[in-house]
Structure 1
Amino acid sequence: MTVTANVENALSTVGVTVPDADAAANFFASLLGANRVVRSPGRASVPIGLSGVVDFVSADWPHQPPPRLVDIGTNHLCFTVGDIELAVSYLDSRSDVTVLGDVIEVPEGPIAGNKWVYFRSPWGDLFELQQWPEEPGYFHETQARLHHRREDIASALLPTCRGLDHTGYSVPDLDAAIARLVTAHSGTEVLRTDIAADRGFMTAQFDLDVEGTSRMAMVSVGDLNIELFEHHIGQQEAPRPLTANGGNFLTFRYGGAARLIPSSL
């Protein structure tokens, strides 16, 4: 797996605050097949791709439960795989993770043919698996492209893992978030879609007792795919501070260095 040579020179850094940075980085790196973790007190960084880093930071309050996926500012990381059923079978065999619901295949729209499912990590955060078809629906609607990784990583514990597909965020204003990424950070809006889900679906697939609608978009910045959701599901909690479990940040050196938190996207 070819990765960023120097984490200090990474063009994008996805920062996530977790109960134990070392444990989270070890878990993430093993699934991804990353061959090294860069450690410092209270922090552990995993190089991804040619120019990115996922930076795990230990929380000041490690016993605080994670935020809900639909709360403002919540982040999730998604692995791309070549065979999602095989990957799910592996996760089901582990006692420290829980796969939520069933593998869902999107029937229509810009992400038609995409298969996805979420799973809960040992410390409670949600991660996602996605399997993209050779020609997603949006290929027929735009010349813009996300970064689709097509080669399995031999060293990954997660079968057919091909790398990090995207980092995802729940944002208060989808249009404003897209505009900031495109204008300030040389991003490219690739696709948008609207989603509606009833309470039964949300409970089964996300372990959430909510229902409502969401607006979703995907933006590419450099070689990082970013998924943005504006959820309309009733009351939402405010973003966590960076020192709290579930806090997070995003640093770019594209279009000028900037550190963002999701509430400012």
Structure 2
Amino acid sequence: MALPGLRGTDHIGFTVPDLDVADDFFVRVLGCEFVYSLGPFAREKGEWMQNHLGVHARTVMRRLNFYRCGNGSNFEVFEYEAADGQAPQPRNSDIGGHHLAFYVDDFDAALDYLHAEGLTILGDPTASSSASLGQRWVYFLSPWGMQFELVSYPDGKAYEKDARVLLWHP
């Protein structure tokens, strides 16, 4: 059995320490489009925040912004004032660790642009092998240290020649 009516990913939500810094990064640096903002939200009484969002009952969600980035999923970006403190950002190897990957047509031009913006690039670009042969990728960090990936495979990946299902590709 599968989730009835599943069409795809509507949005990816994540929390940043400063929504103004994140807005500059998403709009000016990456070229995403700001769509709308909500907040603040807080509950003086009751357990709504805990029951609905899994956070401390007195946490304040200061603001959230929605962004549209190219042809991919939407982003819902939060800034919270956590009533019980905030945990450090997870690494990829931590439970809940993650990264967001952006597909680009011209990998080298995009990488040069990230360097010019002064962003931290993690290592040298990697040419994938095996099923991902044809792909190049590199991780980079946002101004607040969140992990992102630049990826491109303009001629496809090796797995595609025999695949029953293809991964999303722009």
TM exceeds 0.5? Answer: yes
Work out whether residues 33 and 69 of structure 2, in 8 Å CA contact, stay in contact via their aligned partners in 1. no
RMSD across aligned C-alpha pairs, in angstroms?
2.4
Among 120, 132, 152, the alignment partner of 1:111 is: 132
- Is 1:86 equivalent to 2:109 in the alignment? yes
Q: CA deviation at 1:24?
A: 1.4
Whole-Å Cα distance in 2 between the matches of residues 131 and 142 of structure 1?
19
Q: CA deviation at 1:101?
A: 0.5
TM alignment of 1:134-213, pairs within 5 A: 134-149=155-170
Work out whether residues 65 and 124 of structure 1, in 8 Å CA contact, stay in contact via their aligned partners in 2. no
1:131 aligned residue: 152
For 1:134, give the aligned amino acid.
Answer: D
Structure 1 stretch 23-32 or stretch 135-144: which is displaced more?
A: 23-32
Distance 1:68 1:11, change over 3 A: closer
SS at match of 1:104: strand
Distance 1:12 1:49, change over 3 A: farther
Whole-Å Cα distance in 2 between the matches of residues 49 and 111 of structure 1?
23
SS at match of 1:92: helix
Q: CA deviation at 1:30?
A: 3.1
TM alignment of 1:55-74, pairs within 5 A: 55-61=76-82, 65-74=88-97
Q: CA deviation at 1:26?
A: 3.3
2:35 aligned residue: 37
Distance 1:64 1:11, change over 3 A: closer
Work out whether residues 16 and 22 of structure 2, in 8 Å CA contact, stay in contact via their aligned partners in 1. yes
Q: CA deviation at 1:64?
A: 5.1
Larger Rg: 2
Whole-Å Cα distance in 1 between the matches of residues 37 and 94 of structure 2?
30
Work out whether residues 11 and 52 of structure 1, in 8 Å CA contact, stay in contact via their aligned partners in 2. yes
SS at match of 1:59: strand
Aligned residues with identical type, % of pairs: 34
Work out whether residues 80 and 131 of structure 1, in 8 Å CA contact, stay in contact via their aligned partners in 2. yes
For 1:85, give the aligned amino acid.
Answer: D
Give the count of matched residue pairs. Answer: 138
Cα shift readout 1:116-146 (whole Å, capped 9, x = no counterpart): 0001110011110001132311112213112
For 1:139, give the aligned amino acid.
Answer: E
Work out whether residues 110 and 136 of structure 1, in 8 Å CA contact, stay in contact via their aligned partners in 2. yes
Whole-Å Cα distance in 1 between the matches of residues 36 and 153 of structure 2?
30
Distance 1:49 1:92, change over 3 A: closer
1:21 aligned residue: 19
Structure-1-length-normalised TM-score: 0.47
Unaligned runs of 5+ in 1: 1-9, 150-265
Whole-Å Cα distance in 2 between the matches of residues 86 and 51 of structure 1?
20
Distance 1:147 1:30, change over 3 A: farther
Unaligned runs of 5+ in 2: 1-7, 40-62
Asked which structure has the greater RCO (Cα within 8 Å, sep 6+), the reply is 1
Higher strand share: 1
Whole-Å Cα distance in 2 between the matches of residues 46 and 25 of structure 1?
9
For 1:17, give the aligned amino acid.
Answer: T
